Amino acid sequence: MTLLERDREAPSAWKGSLPVTSRYTYGLAGERFFRALKDEGKILASYCPKCDHTYVPAVNFCERCLSELTEWQDAGLVGVLHTYTLLFVDFEGQPLDEPELIGFISFGDGGIIHKLDANPDELEIGMPMKAVLKPQKERSGSILDIRCFQPVNK
Amino acid sequence: MGMRKVAVIGAGMTKFVRRALETPKELSWEAAKMALDSCELTMDDVDGVCFGTAPDAFDGVHMNGEYCSDGAGAWNKPFMRCFVGGGTGVFVPIQGWYHVASGLFDVVLVVAEEKMSSYYPHAQAAFLTIFDHTTERPLKPNLLWIFALEMNRYMTTYGIRKEDIARVSVQHKRNAANHPCALLGEANITVEDVLNSEVLAWPVQRFDVSPVSDGAVALVLAAEHVAKRLTDKPVWIEGVGWHLDTAYWTNRDLAYPRYVEYAAKMAYDMAGIKEPRKEIHIAEPYDPFDYKALHHLEGLQLAERGKAIELYLSGAAAPDGDLPICPSGGLLGVGNPIAAAGLMKVAELFWQLRSEAGARQVPGQPRRGLAQAWGDLMQVGTVIVMGR
């Protein structure tokens, strides 16, 4: 069963009009990546030996040579702060009560964009950052199973 | 005209399925990789990538061409996405052709992908906004309406019976039974099955229509000097054509696709074809609906107006007939992941002309074939003629 179809909150029947929406599959790579995150609390990388290139989040083919990627490895939960921003307005242009930190945490040759839990004054580009995961019972196979990243020495 | 000769030298396709687990990127990659492997090339040999996908809404990703670009092999290459609706699948190899014919590139990878199952509850809703917001949309039209209105007009103009049109669906679905990637191959389907299927919008019934599907197809195109080095069996692109009719579907001749005629004439002139019915040996007209195959065969000058059905009634359209139509199984049988479905037809010509079509190989070693698609706001015709 795929991660998507495990959604038990999906209604089995619907009365009235049905909103038009998109239902995505996780894909071959996504099923493996998000299952590892959910069940084992791991962030997986995939490596192309031909191009010497590491993809995080892991993908199942190398976009450079189109080889299938079979070398998957645990990337660990600690990456490096590549850049960050501080948000003062929300999606709809309304001012936020508290500014929000968003960062790009690099892993391998790729990385993950996520929320940061830190004091903006203590952030330095290049510092190690650790993923804070939700407890396993609350994880659903989503990028939000990572609650945020925070400085390793916090 | 100073254009270089262009050959198709490799092809690959995924299975066409109702709902793929693969993401659009992964489907694109599977087809692209198969096409490259089939002619033993790598991305290092590819100069540019052409990618076709129909409305972004199906895959549910805005700018879907850019999103799928990694799967299509576009990293670090000149990359072009074309989009002419349903006509895309035959337009994207035309786009690849002119990049090679012009002398710009020697090798081009052509990929077409569609993942219609993402759209929920049904891909049909993706078409809601193609209609005029003021004059048409308040009536909540969908594409089935348009086809039902056109089919009725076509049948009435020429006095064609519905049970005869059903033969098209039967022939194509039976052909598809021999296609390893087909979604709706049915070796034993009958005219009665078609006539007994659910009425969707009279005269269109369930089995008159191709299914919503997911899939991808890819081709490798090469300039003559490269093609001759790489294969003993190049399949040459001899002619291409495309043409647009009025944007008002109410101002078109619904009984005769003028846009297909003009697109075909462009392709025939380029290929030096004077008598298409004699010089085309297999045809893959676009068949999202059974009557549409007939409609298009007439526009392609492969039958007189109102007479295309005779090709089916006489057996000429069968795989062992003198003009096999949709030996692949067409959209009605193999499936209809929009852009991928059109390119599937071109891939079918490649396999048939090389005598590599397996169980669905037509006899007689056909020398020349034609593929055609149709789309945009139901008014574009795209045509490609290939020969060995």
pLDDT surpasses 60 at B27: yes
- State the average pLDDT over residues B208-227: 97
Q: Scan for tokens 């064609």, then name that residue.
A: B160
Residue B259 is predicted with a pLDDT of: 96
Lowest mean pLDDT of A113-117, B19-23, B138-142, B378-382, name the range. B138-142
Cα–Cα distance for residue pair A23/A25, rounded to 1 Å: 7
Of A23, A30, A64, the CB nearest to B118: A23
Question: Which residue did the predictor score with more confidence, A96 or A154?
Answer: A96
Residue of B15, B18, B23 to mutate, interface with A, max A Cβ within 10 Å:
B23
| Strand ranges (E), chain B | 6-13, 48-52, 79-82, 107-115, 119-120, 199-201, 204-205, 214-223, 235-244, 282-284, 368-375, 380-387
pLDDT surpasses 60 at B302: yes
Residues in A closer than 8 angstroms to B121, CB to CB, are 18, 20
Residue of A6, A14, A25, A55 to mutate, interface with B, max B Cβ within 10 Å:
A25
Does A10 contact chain B (CB < 8 Å)?
no
At residue B298's C-alpha, the angle toward residues B292 and B299, to 5°, is 90
Quick: pLDDT tens for A91-142. 899 999 999 999 999 999 999 999 999 999 999 999 999 999 999 999 999 9
Cα–Cα distance for residue pair B162/B194, rounded to 1 Å: 10
Q: What is the CATH number of domain B6-120+211-387?
A: 3.40.47.10
Q: Whose CA is closest to B54, among B295, B343, B287, B386? A: B343
- State the average pLDDT over residues B156-180: 98
Compute the Cα dihedral for B202, B203, B207, B213 and give only its sign: negative
pLDDT surpasses 90 at B41: yes
Residue of A1, A61, A64, A70 to mutate, interface with B, max B Cβ within 10 Å:
A61
Find the residue in B nearest to A31 (Cα).
B21
Question: Which residue did the predictor score with more confidence, B2 or B296?
Answer: B296
3-state secondary structure of B198: coil
pLDDT range class, residue B180, cuts 50, 70, 90: very high
Residue B249 is predicted with a pLDDT of: 84
Residues in B closer than 8 angstroms to A2, CB to CB, are 21
Decide if the complex's ipTM is over 0.85: yes
Of B19, B43, B71, the CB nearest to A65: B43
Q: Scan for tokens 């006539």, then name that residue.
A: B195
pLDDT surpasses 70 at A1: no
Contact A102, A7 (CB under 8 A): no
Lowest mean pLDDT of B128-132, B209-213, B344-348, name the range. B128-132
Residues in A closer than 8 angstroms to B71, CB to CB, are 61, 63
Does A122 contact chain B (CB < 8 Å)?
no
For B242, left (φ over 0), alpha (ψ -120 to 50), or beta?
Answer: beta
Exposed/middle/buried for A9, CB within 10 Å: 0-12, 13-18, 19+?
A: exposed
Expressed in angstroms, the distance from the first to the final Cα of chain B is 21
Query: Domain coordinates of chain B in residue numbers?
Result: 6-120+211-387
- Omega of the bond leading into B337 within 30 degrees of 0 (cis): no
To the nearest whole Å, the CA of B240 is away from the closest chain A CA by 30
Which residues of B touch chain A, with CB atoms under 8 Å apart?
A: 19-23, 25-26, 29, 32-33, 36, 42-44, 60, 70-71, 73, 75-76, 117-121, 125, 128
pLDDT surpasses 60 at B351: yes
Find the residue in B nearest to A1 (Cα).
B21
Number of CB pairs, chain A paired with chain B, less than 8 A apart? 65
Q: What is the mean pLDDT of chain B?
A: 96
Residues in B closer than 8 angstroms to A63, CB to CB, are 70-71, 73, 75
- State the average pLDDT over residues A8-22: 77
> Are the beta carbons of A21 and B120 separated by less than 8 Å?
yes
> Are the beta carbons of A2 and B42 separated by less than 8 Å?
no
Residue A2 is predicted with a pLDDT of: 75
B228 CA to centre of own chain: 27
Look up residue B269 and give its two tokens: 């002139």
- State the average pLDDT over residues B118-131: 84
Count how many residues are written for chain A.
154
Cα–Cα distance for residue pair B23/A3, rounded to 1 Å: 14
Helix axes B143-158, B162-176, angle to 10 degrees: 120
pLDDT surpasses 70 at A8: no
Q: Kindly write down the DSSP assignment for every residue of B285-311, as one continuous string.
A: ---SBHHHHHHHHHHTTSS-TT-THHH
Look up residue B104 and give its two tokens: 């710009």
DSSP state of B209: B
pLDDT range class, residue B1, cuts 50, 70, 90: low
Helix axes B88-101, B338-353, angle to 10 degrees: 60
